[in-house]
Amino acid sequence: MKKFSRLFAHLLNMLIILGIFLTACTFETGSALPEPTLPSEQNNHKKSYDELVVGYSQVGAESEWRTGNTASLKEAAESLGVELLFSDGQQQQENQIKAIRTFIAQRVDVIGVSPVVETGWDSVFQEAKDAGIPIILVDRRAKVSDDLYTTYLGSDFIEEGKNAALVMVDLLEGEGKIIELVGTIGSAPAIDRAAGFRQVIQAYPDIQIIASQPGDFTRAKGEEAMADMLQLFGDDIDAVYAHNDDMAIGAIRAIEAYGLRPGQDIKIVSIDAIRDAFQMMIDGKLNATVECNPLLGPQFFDLALKVVNNEPVPKWIPSEEGVFFPEDAAEVMPSRRY
């Protein structure tokens, strides 16, 4: 009986040892699975472009500038290997808000937004912040508190308005009546390009803006608005200041249809510096275009990666821009990429 119980104890020991061994083996195989990472370790892992998932909410496809901007973003994503979820807001804020909410639900790493208008973004940006997803503003600013976005990449629209005005003052030799074709109402570029322009011309009492007409940054609406203005003011109009080239090109059509010579009878200054504007300058129909750079793709993804990897970035990365005139148009045009 004693012998039997010793044998039993021995057997039990063997079983325990075997159990320990098997458990150890299980741990061994278990280590082939990804090791659980602590949150602190996760933060230390630097992502690379091919691990980056970016949601981008674009304004729409209203202008040549925008087409160039979208192409730049898509090409850069493709060549860097970034996964880009792209949404076209068709110039409607509600579409953009919906897209941002979808990106939050998809748990993207970072969201890029070009806000169609300046206001009304607080709650959706707060939702992104609560989900831990950084927002990068691209091209257009939003009027939100600083903690609701990480950085802004885009132009100084006030400066563009001032540059357009300086050229206009020169063209009008300090005297004349101007029609202003305004971009999308409530958008950062329309607000700032109007303000910058006025800051300069207010020093010239003989220069007046006799009407400001919305043209939504499109050729069709620019043409329509200018046709209306010609009906109202006719030969009294000395100049057109258009917030973008597309509206200026629309205005050129309207002026020709009315029987006046754009660029001569009516001076025209606009903003963007798209290829078609260079052609208009070569044809003598546009007097100057102020550059606004849409080729923001590579810079945007560079920023996005830095933001996701917790590297410091400035609050605003302004673009460098110039002004172009008809005398340089033929030489410069071949090198324009939008």
**Footprint of ligand GYE on this chain (CB under 6 A)?**
62-63, 65-66, 139-140, 189, 217, 244, 246, 271-272, 292
CB of 139 to ligand GYE, least distance (A): 5
Q: Which is nearer to ligand GYE, 133 or 280 (CB)?
A: 280
Backbone angles phi and psi of 83, in degrees to 5: -85, 115
Smallest CA-to-CA distance from 184 within 137, 249, 115 is with 115
CB of 282 to ligand GYE, least distance (A): 20
Count Cβ atoms within 10 A of the Cβ of residue 1 and give its class: 0-12 exposed, 13-18 middle, 19 or more buried: exposed
Q: Which is nearer to ligand GYE, 65 or 258 (CB)?
A: 65
Q: Which is nearer to ligand GYE, 152 or 258 (CB)?
A: 152
Which strand (E) or helix (H) includes residue 50?
A: none
Handedness of CA 203, 189, 213, 170 (dihedral sign): positive
Token representation of residue 143:
């009027």
CB of 189 to ligand GYE, least distance (A): 4
Judge whether 245 and 270 are in contact, CB under 8 Å: yes
Q: Which is nearer to ligand GYE, 52 or 249 (CB)?
A: 249
Grouping H, G, I as helix, E, B as strand and the rest as coil, residue 209 is: strand
Distance CA 167, CA 173 (A): 10
- Residue 15: other Cβ atoms inside 10 A: 10
Q: Which is nearer to ligand GYE, 109 or 272 (CB)?
A: 272
Q: Which is nearer to ligand GYE, 104 or 136 (CB)?
A: 136
Token representation of residue 246:
């597309």
3-state helix, strand, coil in the chain (%, to 5): 50, 20, 30
Judge whether 183 and 193 are in contact, CB under 8 Å: yes
Look up tokens 């005297």; give the residue: 175
Smallest CA-to-CA distance from 149 within 131, 120, 126 is with 126
Q: Which is nearer to ligand GYE, 164 or 271 (CB)?
A: 271
Smallest CA-to-CA distance from 236 within 194, 206, 265, 263 is with 265
- Within 61-175, strands assigned E span 83-88, 110-113, 135-138, 151-154
Q: Which is nearer to ligand GYE, 80 or 226 (CB)?
A: 226
Token representation of residue 218:
């499109």
CB of 141 to ligand GYE, least distance (A): 10
Q: Which is nearer to ligand GYE, 62 or 238 (CB)?
A: 62
CB of 80 to ligand GYE, least distance (A): 23
CB of 218 to ligand GYE, least distance (A): 8
CB of 27 to ligand GYE, least distance (A): 57
CB of 129 to ligand GYE, least distance (A): 24
CB of 29 to ligand GYE, least distance (A): 56
Smallest CA-to-CA distance from 271 within 246, 252, 295 is with 246
